[in-house]
Each structure stands twice: as structure tokens, then as C-alpha cells.
Structure 1
Amino acid sequence: MPAESPYPSIDIPDCGIWDLLFDRKDRNYGNEQVIFHDPYTSRKYTYGQLKQTAADFGKGLRGLWDWQRGDVLGVYSPNCVDTPSVTWGVHFAGGVVSPANPGYTVEELAFQLKDSGAKALITQTAQLPIALEAAKQVGIPNDRIILMGDQRDSRFKHFTSIRNTSGTARYRRAKVNPDKDLAFLVYSSGTTGKPKGVMLSHRNIVANILQMQSKEANITEKDSILAFLPFFHIYGLTCIMHFALYKGARCVIMPKFDIEDWCRIVQNEKITFAYVVPPVVLLLSKHPVVEKYDLSSLRMMSSGAAPLTKEIVHAVHKRTSLKVKQGYGLSETSPSTHMQQWEDWERHIGSVGQMLPNQTAKFMDAEDKEVPVGEVGELWIKGPNIFKGYLNNPEGTKNALTEDDYFKTGDVGYLDKDGNFFITDRVKELIKYKGFQVPPAELEGVLASHDKIDDVAVIGVYREDIASEVPLAYVVPKKGVQAGKQLEGEIAEWLAKKVAGHKRLRGGVKFTDEIPKSASGKILRRLLKGRYEEEMKKGVKAKL
């Protein structure tokens, strides 16, 4: 039988995102509450300023470009204190926001703009060269490119001038159908092929904010949340940007991650809560700069986007006394489906927690049959936060959503007898060694605790002599540690004593300067596999 959430079902109002955030009757903080804060420029938005700016921008869109319900605005920018106003201004006008990675090339951005059908594009001056070229490729004229942030360019309108356009006061907020009208088109990175446009409705996001609220009651308007996770990614978009406003917590925004800046801002701004990803937790357990700062204001960190192992959780707590709980979700689930309770951060280390309300889930085998509690399978999940499908991709949608509305996550894990979920890896990334399944993330968590390793990624490579896939580790040695055969042997032998026989590094150890990762902190194993294959073609033999 599918597992039900252990928490009581919650009422999800039939309303859009704007209604939930700006027209709610139960808000327990005032208009002067600072919600978004840029620590580099000291620019701030209070709740009242945010609502007014967003409404004015939405009216400006309708007046300037005859913005219609369902029109798409592309956002190509690093985190910016103006992003929330722009986002909710588009929703005021009934539009859809499609945020793009500011690290995209011209071709990558052009693909998203064309696929999403973007009517206009907002960016910052630093991203203008790529934005202009991509817009040109898809036919977005220059007068449909606008700027946000602190820098100006006289050739383009700043969003503040659009919101001050005369004659727009007559425009009222567009009405939306919460279940059918899209709020966001976020693009999933995927492991192969072009990114897929994930269609998220207003109801999806509203439901997920309230689902999160049921487990994050510890966060209040007195908290300060550090936002370095990108707002173009669903993790930063919902869990930080939307949830901070719903709770009235002060959200301190970083345009990009830097470990020293992160520590300094936590100390100076007295940050109490931070959403993080495993690479950041790993840095906190190892980087020397951490010891220079007082991080004691942090009451809790919540990690997501990739599996976080107990070895890393123990290491960071031992070094800094910081607590890390886990959550789980995907772009297609808006994103949060599971969260650990604050008090469970240590009791169930390695678990992503229990399922949030209003959902059911089951683990399935390769033949689409449900597996018993405790057995490993692919997670399928159903609830009001599940996306509407992939844009312009009926085949992808059909493969992801079942006829009875379950979403096939592509993630492997299991459920324990107490209702705790464990996610071990992606289906496509599991290493198959002679019939045994080896989750790369599990080995990475163990290896990361080695005192001579700064970072690590594990991939599966094929060995002809034994006709099987085997684990290979790409290792970033700690500064000052000599890479070479001696360290290879030491690492392989050390791991062999800590894991089952089928999980040993039969593919060997390779040393690298950096582990490639996505903006959300996921290891890009496909890039490492590509590098390995190139090395093999050039005659570089794997260390067996």
C-alpha cells in the first residue's frame, strides 16, 4: 500500500500566489517589516515597499506591453534584491516567470527563451552581452529587454521606470485560475538532452508553501534567513524567496556563494537559519576560513538538492556545533516533499524526513511493482504540489506522470518502519557491480570524511576484464597533500575497511582540481564520465 503522510491534511485555498502572500488575513507582522536585504549595498524592501513595487511593475507591464494572462517573462540574473518585486509583479499582471541560470551561454539561454515563448527578458548589466545575443536569436526586440539591480544602461529601461509609467494606475490585478494557470516555467537540468520546462501552477506553489509551513513552524518573523541558493532554481525560489515572505523572516541575499562571505554575513547579520546544499556543508566541515567567524547565531541549517550522508553531518557538527537537518524535493514537486523535524536532525541522520501533508508515495521496482517497507526502489509521489507536465514535451510528460497522477521521481531510496524516507541516489546514476547496486552518493559521503580529501565524486566506469561497471573516485586532495600512487592506495584501502565488498573502488582513484557541480550543488557526474571517456580514448589507463 502507498505510504500516507503522518501529518494531518491541510486546507489549500483556491487562490493564486499573490492572494496567499499579499492578501492574507493572518499575517502577524507589519508593513514595515524588512523582508529582503542586500548586505553589500544595504538596499532593503519592507513588506509594504515590496507589495507596492510589485503591483506598480505589474501595472507597468500591462500598460506598456499589453501584458496578457499567460505571457512569459524570462529572468536572466544572479540573485538580486529586486528579483522578488519583479517576480510577483509578473504574477500581478497574470504572467508566468521563467528564470534562467545566469551562467548560461547564448545558445542555452536562447533555447529557454524560445521554448518558454518568452515575450520579454529582464537581466542585469553584467549579463547584457549574452542576453542581447540570445534575445536577438529568438526575435525578442531590444525594447523588450529591461534591467534590474543597481547598474543602469541608457539604452534599456530599468524596471523602476516601467513601474512608474504614467496612465497605468487604472490597471487591476489579473485574475488567475490557480490550478490551470502557470506561475513558473523552471527548467530542469536533467542528466541527458535539452533541459525540460517544468510547468508549475499557482496551486502547486501555494500548496508547497503551506506544506512547508506545517513542518517549519520554528521559523518566525524574528528569524534571518541567508539566501545564496539561486532564485532561478526551484529550491531557492520556493523555499527561500516565497517562504521568507510568507513567514515574514528577513531574507539576506547573496548574488553568489563564497565561503568567506557566507561566514562573514552569518556573523555580522546574525543569521539564524540557512538552506544549504551538501557541498556547502562539506566546506563548513573542512575549510580553514570557517574558524575565523562566529556562526553561533545559526539555530539550524536545512540541506537539500542532493543526498547528505551522516559522515558529513557528524563532521560539521563536531567542528562547528552547527546542526543540519535534511529535506527532499525536485523541480517537478515545487519542490519540497519531505523534511526532517528540527529535533530529528541527529536522531535520523541520513533520512530526508517524513512526508509533508497531502501526499502519498510508494517505492517501485523495475517492473513497476511496489516494494515492501525497507526495500529499495524508485520513489513515486502524488500530491497537490506535483507539476502539470513538461512544456512542449508530451512524451516526457507521459513517461514522468502515471495515469493515476503519481510522479516518477527517478530517485532511488527506501522507507523505514517509522515512516522515515531515505534517498540514496538517482536511478540513472546507480553503479551496477555484478548485480549489486552501488549508490555513488553513499561512497562520496564516506570518502568526504577522509582527512586528506577536500572534495570527491564517484562515477561508474566499465572494466572489460571483469565485464562489469565499477566505482571510480575523482578526488580533490586537501591543500598541501601530495597526490600520487601512495595516496591512491591509502584512500582505496581506507574505504575498503568501511564499506561492503561490492562497494570498493575497483575503478581506482583519480585526482582533480575541482568537482563540477550545478548551481544547486548537484555533482555533474556526466561531465566526469565524459572526461574519463576522453582520457580512455587518448590512451590514459584507469588505475585498477
Structure 2
Amino acid sequence: MRIEEAVPAIPGVPLYDLLFGDLSVDERDLPAFVDGPTGAVTTYGQLVDAIDAFAGALSVRGIGVGDVVALHAVNSAGFAIAFHGILRAGATATTVNALFTPREIEKQLRMSRAVAHVTVSPLAPGSVPAAQAAGIADDRIVVLDGWNGFLSLAQLLAEGSPALEIAVDSASGVAVIPFSSGTTGVPKGVMLSHRNLVANVQQCVERIHVEPGERVLAVLPFFHIYGMTVLLDLAVRVRATLVTMPRFDLTEFLRVIQDEKVSYAFIAPPIAVALAKHPLVDEYDLSSLRTVFSGAAPLDERLGHAVADRLGVEVLQGYGMTELSPVSHAMERGRSSSVPLSSIGPAVPGTEVRIVDIDTLDDIEAPSEGRSASGELWVRGPQVMLGYLDNPEATAGCVTDDGWLRTGDIAAYDADGFVFIVDRLKELIKHKGYQVAPAELEALLLASDRVADAAVVGETLEDGDEAPVAFIVPVGDADEEAILTELNGQVAPYKKVRRAVFVDAIPKSASGKILRKDLKATLVGGE
């Protein structure tokens, strides 16, 4: 079955033009950003002027269409200035996870062929050497808030170079290259066009309903596609105010909501656990908060209702993938009472959906009542990526010739078109809202002299989150602590393996594919 909704108007313009092209004189004085820790305000006028100046500074350095600029920073107005300045100059941004190790940063910069690098001082000690190791010259490294004599945002803006009028093909021009593990395997660069992002912003405007002037909490990272589109770009499009936090800290999170009168908070499920259970929540006045929207991983229905009941707010959830820019499904604000919280809602406007039998690839029909049989969720719409960077084989395995993106998630739907994620066909582990690719960790383990063979799977925790667990065939008398210390020193914190299980052999199919379900079954069995 296919579910289709009306396609929203999708202007054929670059993302900058959608967000700022109609900025009025009166809107220039509206607050675009409030820095949560300090209260510093950046108006829309200051924001767009700085974006233009940043773009001009890149242009005079010969950076433009076809060039990739890496952005490794935490949430702030500076991030937005650099991100949209890169796109305004006609270049492509590749956003780098703030938790990445220098090895991981260097790898992404090399894969994306970045010609310049932008970071911030708290990340600079690891970020700058990684950029240098990737071959980026010092005069093309920017530390937004200043560090060790490298170019700063203030210096670039002071140059006063005007932004050039750059011709960008919105349909084919690559705006951003975030990295994703897709449905399996190691991270790949996802090429998203200006049209992809413009379309998804418009789709979110019509479904998520952030209001002009509303204060929106921005704790989810802008470098992640969820924060990039649903927070940064959506809020700017409707002239809301983003209250930024550089990282999640529960005390600061609650204080910022209270002091800044935040009414809309976008979160991931681990934050929902704290909101539902932590006693600290009762010490703050959260009466301004009206809506909590959860994404990045499935939200348990009971947990969602616990948050709604405790805070007296509307709780919503949605679904997406980096390859979908990212949103394909979302519950609608103001209509949560008519949509089961266990669902991800209906497709956003302009999106077609199929649920496909994983063996026959036949469509599974919607039932007249109850839920349908389960199958793989397929999505088609203007938000589907252009493809994976330098990887046509992986693209072909994910996107069909007629444009359907195979999500790798097992879903069902009901007669009303509400979709329910019921299982994961793909091998990704979702830990604290981040994607962890087993293949990446397995490659690192297999590179160790202490490991003969290995497999990594996700173990479900009490709060419904997952954490990586390694099954290892050790060499000789190697011990767990030594192996995990070696592995975890090479990866970002959210990728760290929490424990290892020593086994005599890794179960595999006749074709050599790791039988992950067999391994996960032993975890359920308590071994």
C-alpha cells in the first residue's frame, strides 16, 4: 500500500534563500538565538549579516561551488553563521560529530575531501591537529571563538567581504554531507541537496508547527541531521528563537527552560527518561513548556506518557534517517490525543510510504482495523538523498531505481495510516540517540593482536536504550579489560563497548554473515 499526502510548495531555491530571502526589516530585530549559559542574544539581522560576511570571507579565499568545508562545533549562533555561510558561498558543509576522536575527524575530512575546517576552542586541541593531518592548511582553519592564533569568526567578519551571488542548482547542488551508517556498515557520506533540505524544512513547517516568536530549546546537536533540519533550519524559517546549549546537563537543561521560558523542546529518549524519573525535575518551574518532541530513536509509549503526565505537556514523536534529510514521519502538534504515542505518526506531506514483505517485496496492505502485518518501511519523496558519496554500490542497495529508500526498519500501519516501528532489520545500534555501526567496531577489534574474531551487537537496557556489546574470540590469554581499553580509546564515547563476552567462535551463516540474532538471543538469555 502507498500512502500519499499533498506535496507542499517546494521553492526551487538554495536553502539560504528559503530561510532568509524574505526576512523583513521588522524581523531583523527579532531574537534568533539566545545562548543558554550566558543569555547573549543574536538578532535575525545580526545573524544574516554575519552569514553574508562569512560567505564573503570564504569566497575571497577561493572557496565556493564544489568545495567542501568541515564544521566541527557545538550548538551556538556561531555554528549557524558558519554553516549557512558555507552554503551561502556555494560550498558544501560536512558536519563533524563533536564527540569524535582526532582519528575519526581526520577520517571524515579525508573522505569528504574537505578544503577548509571550522571548529571552536573547546574542541580545537583535537580538531585542529586532525585537520592538519588531513592536509588542510593553517590559513584555512578557523576557530570561531579564537585559539592559538588561528583565524576567528570576529576576524573574518571584520574583513567585510561581501557575499557573492552564487548560482547553485538546488536540485543537484550538494548542500551538506553528514555521515551516516545507513542501514548497516561503516559510516558513509550522505549527499543532501539544497532541494532535499528545502523540502524537508517545508514538510516540517506544515507538520511540527513551531510558532513565530516561540522559544525553542536547542540541546540536540546541530551537527546531527535532526538538529540541523528540525531545530536550526525549521526554527529560523518560522522566525522562532533558538535557546542553545553546548551539551546536555540536566540541571542546566531545566534551568534554561525555566529562566528562558522555553515552550518547545526537541529531545531524544534518554532525556525523556530523566524528565520522567529524576527528582531534580520537581525543583524547577517548567510551566512554560507546552510541547516535547522526541526523535533520533524510538520512544517507549509508557515513558512518553510518564513525561506528559509529570510535566503537563504534549509529547510527540517522529521518525527519520540522515538519508531522508531526515524526517519522513511525525505526529502533529495539537493532535496528540488522536494519535497513539506508540506510533511515529503519519508520513509528512509530500511523502509516499510502502510497507514491503521482506521476502517477496510485495506491498503489505493496510487493514480495515487493527495493525497490518509487519514489513520493511520504504519511503519516497523530495527529501530522499542524492546518494552516498563515492559509493554507488551502497546507494543502489539503499535506493531503488524508482526512488524508494529502503529504511531497514520493520514497521506496520493501521487503518488511519499511522506507522509503528516494530523491529530493526538493519544492524545499527542506537545508543543515546546516536548511530553505532557494528562493522566499524568490529574492524577495530579485528585489527588488535589480542582478537582472533569478533562481532558487536546491541544489548537492550532497562530504559529501552541500546549499548554495544562485543563477542570476542580472544588470542591466547588476552583479558577483557585490555581489549576494551584498546578499542574504546579509538572511538567517540557513545560508541564505547560496555562489556565483552568471550566465545569459542562467532556464529555465521554459510555465506559468512554474522548471525547477530543468535548472539542477541544469548544476551536475552542472561549469559
Paired position in structure 2 for 1:506: none
**d(CA) in 2 for partners of 1:307, 1:281:** 11
Residues 275 and 472 of structure 1, relative CA distance in 2, 3 Å threshold: closer
Match of 1:160 among 154, 160, 176: 154
Match of 1:51 among 9, 25, 48: 48
Paired position in structure 1 for 2:269: 278
**d(CA) in 1 for partners of 2:90, 2:252:** 37
Tell me the secondary structure at the aligned position of residue 172 of structure 2: coil
Determine if the alignment matches structure 1 residue 36 to structure 2 residue 33: yes
Determine if the alignment matches structure 1 residue 84 to structure 2 residue 84: no
Paired position in structure 2 for 1:404: 402
Determine if the alignment matches structure 1 residue 127 to structure 2 residue 128: no
Cα distance, 1:322 vs structure 2: 2.6
Residues 245 and 385 of structure 1, relative CA distance in 2, 3 Å threshold: same
**d(CA) in 1 for partners of 2:389, 2:21:** 30
Determine if the alignment matches structure 1 residue 259 to structure 2 residue 250: yes
Tell me the secondary structure at the aligned position of residue 263 of structure 1: helix
Cα distance, 1:153 vs structure 2: 2.3
Paired position in structure 2 for 1:239: 230
**d(CA) in 2 for partners of 1:380, 1:409:** 6
Paired position in structure 2 for 1:353: 345
Tell me the secondary structure at the aligned position of residue 163 of structure 1: helix
Mean Cα deviation higher: 226-235 or 315-324: 315-324
Paired position in structure 2 for 1:311: 302
1:409-430, CA deviations, whole angstroms, 9 ceiling, x for partnerless residues? Answer: 1111111101111122321359
- TM-score by structure 2 length? 0.81
Determine if the alignment matches structure 1 residue 196 to structure 2 residue 168: no
Tell me the secondary structure at the aligned position of residue 35 of structure 1: strand
Paired position in structure 1 for 2:469: none
- 1:377-416 to structure 2, matched below 5 A, reads 377-416=375-414
1:94-121, CA deviations, whole angstroms, 9 ceiling, x for partnerless residues? Answer: 0111110111111111111011111110
Contact between 1:326 and 1:345, CA under 8 Å: does it hold in 2?
no
Paired position in structure 2 for 1:371: 364
Determine if the alignment matches structure 1 residue 180 to structure 2 residue 172: yes
**d(CA) in 2 for partners of 1:135, 1:158:** 16
**d(CA) in 2 for partners of 1:223, 1:473:** 36
* 1:397 partner amino acid: T
Cα distance, 1:122 vs structure 2: 0.6
* 2:189 partner amino acid: G
Cα distance, 1:154 vs structure 2: 4.3
Contact between 1:229 and 1:520, CA under 8 Å: does it hold in 2?
no
Contact between 1:207 and 1:385, CA under 8 Å: does it hold in 2?
yes
Tell me the secondary structure at the aligned position of residue 214 of structure 1: helix
Contact between 1:31 and 1:46, CA under 8 Å: does it hold in 2?
yes
Tell me the secondary structure at the aligned position of residue 13 of structure 1: coil
Cα distance, 1:520 vs structure 2: 13
Determine if the alignment matches structure 1 residue 228 to structure 2 residue 224: no
Residues 29 and 411 of structure 1, relative CA distance in 2, 3 Å threshold: farther
Determine if the alignment matches structure 1 residue 4 to structure 2 residue 1: no
Cα distance, 1:141 vs structure 2: 1.5
Percent of aligned positions that are identical: 34
Residues 193 and 381 of structure 1, relative CA distance in 2, 3 Å threshold: closer
- TM-score by structure 1 length? 0.78
**d(CA) in 2 for partners of 1:301, 1:96:** 32
What count of residue pairs does the alignment treat as equivalent?
454
Match of 2:416 among 403, 415, 418: 418
Residues 270 and 216 of structure 1, relative CA distance in 2, 3 Å threshold: same
**d(CA) in 1 for partners of 2:386, 2:295:** 23
**d(CA) in 2 for partners of 1:112, 1:240:** 24
* 2:27 partner amino acid: G
Determine if the alignment matches structure 1 residue 95 to structure 2 residue 91: yes
Tell me the secondary structure at the aligned position of residue 30 of structure 1: helix
**d(CA) in 2 for partners of 1:210, 1:345:** 21
C-alpha RMSD of the superposition: 2.9
Cα distance, 1:194 vs structure 2: 2.6
**d(CA) in 1 for partners of 2:139, 2:458:** 52
Tell me the secondary structure at the aligned position of residue 14 of structure 1: coil
Residues 78 and 191 of structure 1, relative CA distance in 2, 3 Å threshold: farther
- 1:390-469 to structure 2, matched below 5 A, reads 390-428=388-426
Contact between 2:53 and 2:157, CA under 8 Å: does it hold in 1?
yes
